[in-house]
Amino acid sequence: MDQALFQYLLRMGDTSLILSHRLSELTGHGPALEEDLAMTNVALDLLGQSRLWLTLAGEVEGNSRDEDQLAYLRDAPEFRNYLLAERPNTHYGSVIARQFFFDVWHYFLLKELCSSSDERVAAIAEKSIKEVTYHVRRSSDILVRLGDGTAESHARMQDSVNDAWRFVGELFLDDEITEALAERKVAPLHSQLWPAWLDHVSTTLQESTVALPNPDDAHHRAHRGGVTGRHTEALGYILAEMQHLQRAYPGAVW
């Protein structure tokens, strides 16, 4: 089994799955009808992408685990999502900051994955990036509107950006998995995505009048570990809700 590829596919699938679940928690709770629609639609896109990644992960693993078994029957330490995805929804500014940082990273990563030497990976990336381009344009747009809005929305947006900032460094870390895949040109080194990411983020923040946090503060060692299964307590609560049905009624289907 291609262990590095399997782990990488779990990172992609789990990150989309967990963020999708976070966004879906806002269904019926959005601050405005338009935002409610947007969050649920973005959640739906990410869920669809997650299914593609996890299905492929199951095939690569070769243990006949399908997307459902991977999503519903693993415990928190087996999840490989980035910590940013599991950050809780507090007020809407934090939802947008989290989404904006993720979307920009997701866009630049998928752009590289479109030319992956593994054609199955390239096909999923090619499919996903069209949706993600729309996501990143929208979250950039909302970030500017909130940051450059009222004194209250500006202050909240600044707080949210500062808070989410601690968790972005992990997105750009390389380890033996990304290095092995980069050598085979299956995936890019994540550290190479940082300059383009920072460029778009700082341009957008400038337009939003929100101050860019110190880039060094994004790379604190305390705020990493998601992709190796070391999660914050937030993930357990997500899984408790997401997996309840399959845990209580094993094998239940529609």
Residues that bind another protein (CB under 8 A): 33-34, 37-38, 40-42, 44-49, 51-52, 104, 107, 111, 119, 122-124, 126-131, 133-134, 136-138, 140-141, 144, 200, 204, 207
Question: Which residue, 22 or 166, is less far from another protein as judged by CB?
Answer: 22
DSSP codes of every residue in 125-171: HHHHHHHHHHHHHHHHHHHHHHHTS-HHHHHHHHHHHHHHHTTTGGG
- Copy the structure tokens of residue 84: 């940013």
Q: Are 122 and 175 in contact (CB under 8 A)?
A: no
Residue 105 CB, nearest approach to another protein (Å): 11
Nearer of residues 49 and 81 to another protein, judged by Cβ = 49
Q: How far is the CB of 208 from another protein (least distance, A)?
A: 10
**C-alpha distances in Å from residue 73, one per residue of 18, 67, 150, 240:** 14, 10, 45, 11
Q: Which CB atom, from 69 or from 133, has the smaller least distance to another protein?
A: 133
From CA 201, how far away is CA 198, in angstroms rounded?
A: 5
User: Quick one: 52 or 60, whose CB is closer to another protein?
Assistant: 52
At 111, phi and psi to the nearest 5? Answer: -60, -40
The least distance separating another protein from the CB of residue 126, rounded to whole angstroms, comes to: 5
Minimal distance in Å, beta carbon 111 to another protein? 8
Orientation angle between helical segments 3-24 and 176-183, nearest 10 degrees: 120
Residue nearer to another protein on the CB measure, 106 or 231 = 106
Instruction: Give me the least distance between CB of 103 and another protein, in Å please.
Output: 8
The Cα 172–Cα 219 span in angstroms is 9
- Nearest-5° angle of CA 17, CA 130, CA 38? 60
Torsion of CA 199, 18, 37, 28, to 10 degrees: -130
CA distances, 229 to each of 26, 78, 173 (Å): 26, 6, 15
In the complex with another protein, which residue's Cβ is closer, 119 or 233?
A: 119
What's the closest the beta carbon of residue 77 comes to another protein, in angstroms? 27
CB of 141 to another protein, least distance (A): 5
Compare residues 23 and 177 and give the one whose CB is closer to another protein: 23
